[in-house]
Amino acid sequence: MEQITGLLPLLLIFVVLYFFMIRPQMKRQKEEKKFIEELKKGDKVVTKSGMHGKIVDFSEKLNAVIIESGAGKLTFDKSSISNELSQALNKPKEEKKK
């Protein structure tokens, strides 16, 4: 019985870590993967480095997107597209006011 009560705090710490750190990270990765798979030509996106632009083409060989911005056409890896910033950019104006 003493062994069980000795392991209880360790087990509780693992459960807390799972629900507050591991599970949300897995959910975020799943949403980001879905977002990248749903990209299409004409979508306005923001890269993780802050570059704004519109998708004009895809390079399946490089697993990249070609983005047109004020500087011209640039090629970025699909993983460099920011899910959160791109969704904030594409929100309807009514939702931004709230």
56 and 33 share one domain:
no
62 and 95 share one domain:
yes
CATH number (domain holding residue 59): 2.30.30.140
pTM of the full structure: 0.71
Quote the CA–CA distance of 93 and 98 in Å, as a whole number. 9
The count of domains in the chain is: 2
Residues 6 or more apart whose Cβ sits within 8 Å of residue 48: 80, 81, 82, 85
16 and 47 share one domain:
no
89 and 49 share one domain:
yes
pLDDT tens by residue, 9-63: 899 999 999 999 999 999 999 999 999 999 999 999 999 998 999 999 999 899 9
